[in-house]
Amino acid sequence: MDSTGVVVEYNPFHNGHDYHFRQARKLSGADVVIAVMSGNFLQRGEPAIVSKWARAEMALNAGVDLVVELPYAFAVQHADIFARGAIGILGELRCQSFCFGSESGEIKDFEASLNLVKMHKAAYNMQVQTLLKTGMSYPQAMAESFSNLDPRGTYVDLSKPNNILGFQYLQANHNLLHPMAPLTISRKNANYHDKSLSSESIASATAIRKALFEGTLDFAKTKAYLPSFSTTGLIEYEKSFGLLHSWEKYWSYLQYQLLTLEPNELNSIYELEEGIEFRLKRAAEESESFEAFMNKVKTKRYTWTRIQRMCVHILTHSKKKEVVERSRAPEYIRLLGMNQKGREYLNKVKKELSLPLVSRLAAISPELTRLDVKSSLVYAHVLSEPARQRLLKMEYAQPPLFR
């Protein structure tokens, strides 16, 4: 059985994701599609709108064959570390290929770009570091350094968010002992950061969440952009757990941490550096909402995404040393769900795996999963009882979903 991998967040699963998943199967010709999916907190430093279990169920309902979790130490990260974890897990699961969406849509452009950077690695890295010191954000520094290597503009545009991720996927794949075949498709209709529901059937997850959280929760506004099982999943989650997750739900807890922790304690948190803790504390004293806080804190150097990731790490008290240790390479593979084809594939490859295959947390060292457990405790904390305990019980006792 051949397999292809996709790196996903499904926040929530929408029509664009359905297109990507089906194209991945078509382009690769694979029998099995494996999704490595972020847990309860995501790459841009946001709480997922519904839990990883609800999103894994959406994936299985769409026809994804196997869903595994991208651990916290990789999920809430810069693109290079995010890619290292996701591609490492797909490689460990013996995928023959992986497929990602991009603004470019041409895999040859990514391969040419990777070769260019490999040829000028030292100069490229030096330029990135020099530009970062001027106050430029990492994505901007990366894009400008690359354009300096390629003034003709004949390679992939690394100012685009999905192109950046795709480029990092190829770099991570290049470092594997047995690299996979990379595939890419063009994103349809909506861009990653689009905030409006502009197309008839495809919108970005950002636009979908924005529509849901504007005013009274109204699932009719987003129905056209989601498969019916996703709309049903969102409705059932809100009914069962009492809310859909957003940053504003966590603001009071974040504000409490920022007001009560000493600057030296904040400075020990992953990603906090250069005295940013003082700016965060001042903004927390003056802000009545998370959005107001973010607007006070963000700068050209400290982007919205970078600040959000810091805030997640503050909520979870994720210390620098521990995150660095846990993000060097994947240390286990946690199963979230599968169908019959996915089960057959696992039975075929599990003896070849060098990492533990985890169905329940109790089966693995607590040291390895400590960051994931803390993030799940924080994620559930905004729920009322008994919904909170029900979601936490799933973290410890829920076996992989089966469809």
Concatenated DSSP letters of 195-237: -S--SSS---HHHHHHHHHSSS--GGGTGGGS-HHHHHHHHHH
> Which tokens sit at 69?
């979790």
pLDDT at 151 over 80: no
Helix/strand/coil (H, E, C) string of 151-174? CCCCCCCCCCHHHHHHHHHHHHHH
Q: Is 88 annotated as a binding residue?
A: no
10 is in an annotated binding site: yes
Average pLDDT score over residue span 243-270: 97
- For the chain, the structural domain boundaries read 3-103+184-190+330-402, 109-157, 247-324
Reported confidence tier of residue 189, pLDDT bands at 50, 70, 90: low
- Please tell me whether 40 is known to bind a ligand: no
DSSP code, position 47: B
Is 237 labeled as ligand-binding?
Answer: no
Q: Please indicate if the annotation marks 115 as binding a ligand.
A: no
pLDDT (0 to 100) of residue 340? 98
The residue behind tokens 């947390």 is 361
Query: What's the average model confidence in pLDDT over 227-245?
Result: 97
Is 7 known as a binding-site position? yes
Does the annotation list 256 as a binding residue?
no
- What span, in angstroms and rounded, lies between the C-alpha atoms of 214 and 82? 30
Known binding residue 21? Answer is: no
- Give the pLDDT band (50/70/90) at residue 16: very high
Residue 101 in marked binding region: yes
Tell me whether residue 17 is annotated as binding. yes
* Three-state secondary-structure class, residue 269: strand
- Say if CB 330 and CB 70 are below 8 A apart: no
- C-alpha–C-alpha distance, residues 206 and 42, integer Å: 13
pLDDT beyond 80 at 102: yes
* 192, pLDDT greater than 70: no
- pLDDT of 201 strictly over 90: no
CATH topology of domain 3-103+184-190+330-402: Rossmann fold (3.40.50)
**How would residue 123 be classed by pLDDT, with cut points 50, 70 and 90?**
confident
**Residue 65 labelled as part of a binding site:** no
Q: Is 162 flagged in the annotation as binding?
A: yes
Split at pLDDT 50, 70, 90, the class of 29 is: very high
What pLDDT is recorded for position 154? Answer: 65
Q: How many residues does the chain have?
A: 403
Handedness of CA 213, 294, 379, 384 (dihedral sign): negative
The pLDDT of residue 7 is 98
Please tell me the predicted confidence (pLDDT) of residue 196: 57
Instruction: Report whether 29 belongs to an annotated binding site.
Output: no
Q: Is 84 annotated as a binding residue?
A: no
Chain position carrying tokens 């007001």: 259
- SS3 category, 23: helix
> What percent of the chain is modeled with pLDDT above 90?
78
The closest of 328, 318, 323, 227 to 22, measured between CA atoms, is 227
3-state SS class at 184: strand
Strand 3-8 with 97-102, pairing? parallel
Q: Is 175 annotated as a binding residue?
A: no
Give the mean pLDDT of 195-206: 76
Which range, of 62-76, 133-147, 331-345, averages the lowest pLDDT?
Answer: 133-147
Please provide the average confidence, as pLDDT, over all residues in the chain. 93
Rounded CA-CA distance 341/344 in Å is 5
- Residue 153: the pLDDT is 64
What amino acid is encoded at 203 in this protein?
Answer: A
Q: What is the pLDDT of residue 398?
A: 92
Mean pLDDT of 331-342: 98
Residue 201 CA to residue 189 CA, distance in Å, equals: 9
**How many secondary structure helices (H) and strands (E) does the chain include?**
19, 8
